[in-house]
Amino acid sequence: MNKFADYKTVDLLVVGAGVAGLTAAAAAKSLCPEKSVCVIDKASGPGRHNLSGGTFDPSALYEFLNLAFPGWQDNEKISKFLSRRVLNEQFFMLSSKSRAFRITPQLKLAKALKLSAGKMLSQGETIISVSKLVRVVEAMAVEKGVEIYYSFPAEFVDFDHKTARAKGVRLADKGLDEGGIKQMNYTPGELISAEDVILAEGADGYVTEQFIAHSELERNQPQIYSLGVKEVIEVSRQQYQALGSSNVIRFAGYPLWKPFSSPSIFGGGALYPLGGCRIAVVLISALDWKYKDYSPYEAFCLFKKHPKVAQYLRGGRVLEAGAKLIPEGGFHSIPRDKVRSTFAGTSNVLLAGDCAGFVNMHRMKGLSNAVLSGLQAGKAVSMKEKNGGSLAKNYSNMLEFSGLIDQMKRAAKFRQIISKFGVTLGLGLGNIDFMLPLFNIREDNKREMTESYPYSGKGLFDQADFVKHTGVQHRENQQPHLVIKDVDICKWECARKYDCPCLKFCPGQVYEKMQEHVGPVNTSNCLHCKTCQRKCPYSNIEWTVPEAGGPMYTDM
């Protein structure tokens, strides 16, 4: 691999070595082998910051593999990785702390009637670990000649407003202490000059959100999010066989919502088999909850204790844990350049994957669209090279031609309806979302948190143990990347009105009470999920990019 000094100027720079970014880089390099393509990522290695659910429609991945790696079917490693399929799927409604009933027949009926609820079924899809998928695609990208650099956090896109073009991306400074003083190992952030830039940082990307704010991109509706909390647990052979190596179980209800009662939090849980007596357990909570004391981690633990879930996990050993945001705003939250009529890009900068908001809320999946958008971004680079024209316009056309924009449009109102009417009524109305108008929604932190969460898990669970299993680490004395904008707001307003909800909602236990106010005491625990930035009721927490570090996922 070349020294980084040789790559201060590249043809294509991709920010984010996730599925979307690596697919884009490998596709571009395959179609334009003469181009210099570089990927940078703030994580310490491939897949370290990548977490997703467990099932995946592989059709977009097949399209990418056919383009970049003809004959991939003969590759035993790839074929084995994609071999685990969903052959049986069950859905349960958890009606209380101990009761459950099957709702699979109702969802199959909804599918037959072409209602949106039926689109959640994932029969025939592939069961995967996204961390492993990233490592597989990364190896392919390197084989194609893509240069990939880890522990290279990006600070901002250097955008020239006079020419309306990005010059490149500036890296973050390294070697500053807690007070911002330069240490012996200080390295100023360099500018990587690039002809074209693809941002693929994942949900609520730091560079992406800055770029949207300072460019001509805008959203019709604010982006809203869910937080996914996940563990991989090693269980007994009997428990694993009881679940089944090709069986996926999904859950609605407890502890997130109860029909026509409280709580009312959009989301759900799932169990996925990963092989080797390992089961992935996930709980997803929408951030527009109205409970000032809600803890996604404690709700996750309550979910695991439900008898219908616990029978597969009881006595198991946690191997890994993590948490990550999911963008759920849908079509109307995709950034767009209204002047140039382009989706997810402007001029020579493109957005791919979760940072663009390409999550299909009818199917409640975004990983396949991450691959699909990355592939179209790579093709757009090639099209510009061969035929000229605007990179962003080429990309926008490719997104429409691929069907991605059309599927996003079909689910365009689903999440807004739930936000407007609540979970019970919203899920019902979501089946006829095409007949309803678009409702305006607010950012997640604008939802008034006046109620108390009805279930308590306080003191019953060891959150420190959860954090330990994320493998998270940062250099202890680096400049803090979590900034409280106004301490007085925490002390005099948030504490009195909401009792400091960041103490509860942070899955990494970063925030603690100090002498007179709450602050990010344990910044080294930060999982980079950015829940604090999106859920603080006063928008008083700013997540900035650390010089390196974060979770160390391997099988998430």
Taking only the tens place, the pLDDT of each residue in 17-42 is: 999 999 999 999 999 999 999 999 99
Asked if 75 contacts 66 with a C-beta cutoff of 8 angstroms, the reply is: no
326 lies in a domain?
no
CATH code, domain with 367: 3.50.50.60
**Tokens matching residue 331:** 């079509």
Strand 182-187 to strand 37-40: parallel, antiparallel, or no bridges (unpaired)?
Answer: unpaired
133, exposed or middle or buried, with CB in 10 Å at 0-12, 13-18, 19+? buried
**Tokens matching residue 227:** 């937080």
Cross-strand bridge partners of residue 199:
15, 351
**Number of domain units in the chain:** 1
Asked if 19 contacts 53 with a C-beta cutoff of 8 angstroms, the reply is: no
**Per-residue pLDDT tens over the stretch 223-253:** 999 999 999 999 999 999 999 999 999 999 9
**What is the residue range of 173's domain?**
4-77+130-219+334-412
Q: In angstroms, rounded to a whole number, what is the distance separating the alpha carbons of residues 240 and 234?
A: 9
pLDDT of residue 45: 97
| End-to-end CA, the chain | 27
Asked if 457 contacts 301 with a C-beta cutoff of 8 angstroms, the reply is: yes
Torsion sign across C-alpha atoms 421, 427, 432, 434 = positive
188, exposed or middle or buried, with CB in 10 Å at 0-12, 13-18, 19+? exposed
Asked if 68 contacts 24 with a C-beta cutoff of 8 angstroms, the reply is: no
pTM comes to: 0.96
φ/ψ of residue 547, rounded to 5: -70, -20
CB-based contacts of 397, cutoff 8 Å, min separation 6: none
Helix (H) or strand (E) holding 482: strand 482-484
**What value does the mean pLDDT of the chain take?**
95
**Per-residue pLDDT tens over the stretch 159-170:** 998 999 999 999
444 lies in a domain?
no
Long-range contacts of 62-66 (CB under 8 A, 24+ apart): 63/372, 63/375, 64/23, 64/26, 64/27, 64/371, 64/374, 64/375
**Secondary structure string (H, E, C) spanning 85-117:** ECCEEEEEEECCCCCEEECHHHHHHHHHCCCHH
Residue 6's pLDDT band (cuts 50, 70, 90): low
**Per-residue pLDDT tens over the stretch 261-293:** 899 999 999 999 999 999 999 999 999 999 999
28 lies in a domain?
yes
Check whether 180 has a pLDDT greater than 80.
Answer: yes
Residue 539: name the closest of 474, 465, 442 by CA.
442
